[in-house]
């Protein structure tokens, strides 16, 4: 899988995590990886989800997803503005939201099903076949619109992943 097709205009490091918006948008540091930050962010999301699942009800997890989407939108905007790039590869909150949504909707699921979801989601997010490519190109830019674009293509990638799972389940 490609490491990232998102440009970065300035070096990003641990000092960036001192701002709350950056800490969130960069997946609590998982997005600082120099190799495949989106994949690292998704792995971090998987680990955190496994921990959260032991403490949260289904309703609480749904509420966390909604709050995380709204807070993530704000964090992506602030971080994108600060970095000076519309969609930095270091911003991985979009992967976190997308993968949490998948894990929540395929629950209950065992490790192998979650691993398959991880692989399919990363394929859609990294390769960006249609309609993910369309979603990625629909909200380019800065500000609130651009921040929504950071998240939107990952939500479409999550939808495509869930669609693949539904088709496989229907056929088999």
Per-residue pLDDT of 94-143, as tens digits, reads 999 999 999 999 999 999 999 999 999 999 999 999 999 999 999 988 89
pLDDT for residue 2? 45
Percent above pLDDT 70 for the chain: 94
In a domain, 7, yes or no: no
Domain of 93 in residue numbering reads as 14-171
Cα(160)–Cα(110) distance, rounded to whole angstroms?
20
Cα(143)–Cα(150) distance, rounded to whole angstroms?
11
CA nearest 94: which of 166, 4, 163? 4
CA nearest 89: which of 145, 33, 156? 33
In a domain, 43, yes or no: yes
The number of distinct structural domains making up the chain is 1
In a domain, 57, yes or no: yes
pLDDT for residue 151? 98
Higher-pLDDT residue of 12, 135: 135
**Measuring CA to CA, how many Å separate 132 from each of 37, 153, 154, 157, 168?**
19, 6, 8, 6, 20
Give this prediction's pTM: 0.91
Q: What share of the chain is helix, strand, coil (3-state, %, to 5)?
A: 75, 0, 25
């Amino acid at each position: 899988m490609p490491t990232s097709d998102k440009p970065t205009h300035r070096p990003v490091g641990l000092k960036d995590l001192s701002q709350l918006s950056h800490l969130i948008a960069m997946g609590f540091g998982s997005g600082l990886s120099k190799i495949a930050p989106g994949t690292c962010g998704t792995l971090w999301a998987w680990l955190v989800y496994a921990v959260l699942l032991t403490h949260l009800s289904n309703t609480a997890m749904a509420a966390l997803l909604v709050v995380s989407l709204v807070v993530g939108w704000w964090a992506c905007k602030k971080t994108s503005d600060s970095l000076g790039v519309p969609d930095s590869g270091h911003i991985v909150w979009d992967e976190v939201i997308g993968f949490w949504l998948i894990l929540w909707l395929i629950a209950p699921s065992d490790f192998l099903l979650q691993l398959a979801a991880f692989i399919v989601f990363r394929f859609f997010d990294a390769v960006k076949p249609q309609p993910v490519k369309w979603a990625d190109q629909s909200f380019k830019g800065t500000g609130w619109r651009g921040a929504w674009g950071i998240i939107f293509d990952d939500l479409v990638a999550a939808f495509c992943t869930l669609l693949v799972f539904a088709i496989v389940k229907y056929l088999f």
